[in-house]
Amino acid sequence: MTDVLALSTPHGPARAHCLLRPDAPVALVLGHGAGGSVTAPDLQAVTARVVADGGSVVLVEQPYRVAGKRSAPRAPTLDAAWLAVLEALRAGPLANVPRLVCGGRSSGARVACRTATAVGADAVLCLAFPLQPPPRRSGPAPSRQPELDAAGVPVLVVQGESDRFGVPAPDPDRAREVVVVAGDHGLKRDVAGTAAIAAAWLARTVGPGA
Please state the φ and ψ torsions of residue 56, each to the nearest 5 degrees: -105, 145
The whole model's pTM is what? 0.95
Chain length of the chain: 210
Pick from 135, 142, 8, 23: which is nearest to 84 by CA?
A: 8
**Domains observed in the chain:** 3-133+141-206 (3.40.50.1820)
The answer to whether the CB of 81 falls within 8 A of the CB of 107 is no
Neighbours of 202 (CB within 10 A): 27
Q: How far apart are CA 89 and CA 98, in angstroms?
A: 13
Phi/psi region, residue 163 (left: phi>0; alpha: psi -120 to 50; beta: rest), is beta
Per-residue pLDDT of the chain (210 residues; tens, 9 = 90+): 689 999 999 999 999 999 999 889 999 999 999 999 999 999 999 999 999 999 999 999 999 999 999 899 999 999 999 999 999 999 999 999 999 999 999 999 999 999 999 999 999 999 999 999 887 777 788 899 999 999 999 999 999 999 999 999 999 999 999 999 999 999 999 999 999 999 999 999 997 544
